[in-house]
Amino acid sequence: MQLSLLWKAPTVNPVNHKAQSVPILNPFDKYGRTFFFCTFGFMIAFLSWYAFPPLMGKTIKKDLHLSQTEVANSNVLALTATLVVRFLIGPLCDRFGPRLCFAGVLLAGAVPTALAGLVTNATGLLALRFFVGVLGATFVPCQVWSTGFFDKNVVGTANGIMAGIGNAGGGITYFVMPAVFDSLVHERGLTPHKAWRVPFVVPFILIVIMALGMIFLCEDTPTGAWADRHNFSPRTIEGKIVDATRNISDAPTTDKDAKGTSYTEKDKKNSDPESASSNGSIDLETVAQSEVIQAPTFKEAMQVIFSLTMSYARGTYACSFGGELAINSIWIFYMKNFLPCETKSGRWAAMFGLLNLFCRPAGGIIADIIYRHTKSVAAKKWWLVFIGSIEGVFCLAIGLVNPHHESTMFGLVAGLAFFMDASNGASFRIVPHVHPFANGILSGVVGASGNLGGVQFFSIIFRYNGVKYDRVIMIIGGICIGINLSISWIRPIPKGQIGGK
């Protein structure tokens, strides 16, 4: 990889106008600007979403006189809100575009963030955490927007880096919130009652700035407004197509223009060599249009949601991100085993989230490398099955060993973080290939499945096993291995699909 690709204007695929490199350090280029706002909008949203747990176990619990059940319920409500909004925001991204949906979710979550300091009892906390949980849904428009700007050879890298830095916001807040709290108490003389409330003003300001930047500084698609996304003109080579890796090959042929076909017909239409058109640009446009996101009807959306391939995507992400959400509370495990100080245990817990910076992009980058060498989406699927299963093995190891030595605990947690976060990244390396005309719906349902895994399965296991954290993590490991292996036979791309390959 050339380092200059990090800042130079990217080469653009002439078929779909998507970038074939990721200009991470060039916010002046429209592709780099999209990367910047996707990444840091998502990170700040997660920072606010995760801001309560680092102080919940001791400070907030004591100040608001919360029971352990109320603490657990507040965690579940925060995840439930994200689940619901992720499911709803997917179709909205398909209809109105991910940029405006992203900005809308940020502004909706900014209001309860600003009101955090007004909470005085358990009921207020439960309501507030539910509405702040809306911010967790920013993941969906982030990934849909990114997929619209970056081509198949680098979309896994782009999505993985964005999500990795974004998820790291959850790790950063485990370090920042206790540190700011201690500073306000010991250096500024604030009472704990006031000190935990003050830091919420900062994410509110940052969220509003990012949302306004998306509205006024960014584009919906590489070719302009969302409403005009169907009207782009692919640059063609007669009778040929330029694929995601810049290789030129024969274009699929068809006897009918893709414009005007229905939402599902575009996905199912097969090329027919015997009815080849003499006009290569029409062939090229058919393929390009098959990947343009459509505004779905309810019936068409249901066909996508309940497809077999969707079951595979949902299952793997429910294990990886669902497990991550549940195990983010592992800092309580640290307090139980050897770190009774809230600040110190919060810092060690931050490690689990901060490793997203490296591990989640690694899953997407390795998947991209596999794809470039094999030209096979199935090869990426087996990479995902492998790391998803090893994630389960590390959970089993932590549960069985139940470590009371720091080096053992942190070594196992770091190994778990790599495979769990890499599995998150690899999951959304496959998503852009599946039903590309319905990427919003797909991303929304898969993203919501991650929360479903965290709320309905893993977090509830924590809740009903009390302080037996080792047993809970062992159960999570067994579930992850079982699900990844049991659905590994499902094809990553539906049979007969033209786009996404």
Q: Is the pLDDT of residue 304 over 90?
A: no
Enumerate the domain spans of the chain.
Answer: 20-225+298-486, 233-289
| Close Cβ partners of 356 (under 8 Å, ≥ 6 residues apart) | 163, 164, 165, 166, 167, 168, 170, 171, 417, 421, 424
Q: Is the pLDDT of residue 266 over 80?
A: no
Average pLDDT, the chain: 82
Q: Is 486 exposed, middle or buried (0-12, 13-18, 19+ CB in 10 A)?
A: exposed
20-225+298-486 domain in CATH 1.20.1250.20? yes
Query: What pTM does this model have?
Result: 0.81
Distance of alpha carbon 44 from alpha carbon 280, whole angstroms: 46
R_g of the chain computed on alpha carbons: 23
Q: Is the pLDDT of residue 263 over 50?
A: no
Q: Which two tokens stand for residue 310?
A: 């969707």
More confident residue, 360 or 499: 360
Q: Give pLDDT tens digits for 80-113.
A: 899 899 999 999 999 999 999 999 999 999 999 9
pLDDT-wise least confident of 149-153, 259-263, 387-391: 259-263
State the chain's maximal CA–CA distance in angstroms. 81
Q: Is the pLDDT of residue 172 over 80?
A: yes
What separation in angstroms does the CA of 490 have from each of 315, 441, 495? 11, 20, 11
Q: Is the pLDDT of residue 334 over 70?
A: no
Q: Give pLDDT tens digits for 46-72.
A: 999 888 888 887 889 999 999 878 887
Q: Which SS3 state, helix, strand or coil, does residue 191 take?
A: coil
More confident residue, 453 or 351: 453
- Which helix (H) or strand (E) element contains residue 249? strand 248-250
Distance of alpha carbon 374 from alpha carbon 59, whole angstroms: 52
Look up residue 245 and give its amino acid. T
